[in-house]
Amino acid sequence: MSKYFVWSPVLMLIGGVILLSGHMGGGNGPNPVPVPVAGDVLGQCYKSDRASKVALLRSMAEQEYPNDAAKAKAWNDGVDVARLKDFKPFVDDELAGAFMDGKLKELADKLEVAK
């Protein structure tokens, strides 16, 4: 009888204990890390954009589509409409003024600090 055959039940037991300890000790594998949202106007727009996308996904999940192309069109149309609404505060309050005043670099610096 091979010496490996004698040790295999012990090694299997050790492997089982290691596998179970990961599940019992709260180690359920990788989990998503919450992404911090900047407190500026752009950060709030991203937060609104995310909420709109979640709402769109929920709405689409309740509907049936004849094919993937129709489903993709519904997604793209919904995202386009929501984007106009979600990013309006940034475009109107921040970006438009920076364009008109020639202060795009200053806006970029401000947004970079807020990350």
Model pLDDT, residue 24: 52
Model pLDDT, residue 14: 77
Model pLDDT, residue 79: 96
Model pLDDT, residue 113: 86
As a whole number of angstroms, the distance between CA 104 and CA 115 comes to 17
**Inter-residue contact 60 to 74 (CB < 8 Å):** yes
Q: Which of 80, 77, 45 is nearest to 63 (CA)?
A: 77
Q: Which of 99, 95, 100 is nearest to 111 (CA)?
A: 95
Which burial class, exposed, middle or buried, applies to 76 when counting CB atoms under 10 A from its CB (0-12, 13-18, 19+)? exposed
Model pLDDT, residue 40: 85
Residues in the chain: 115
Give me the residue label for tokens 């993709």.
Answer: 72
Mean pLDDT by 10 residues, the chain (115 residues): 66 69 57 67 93 97 96 96 96 94 95 81
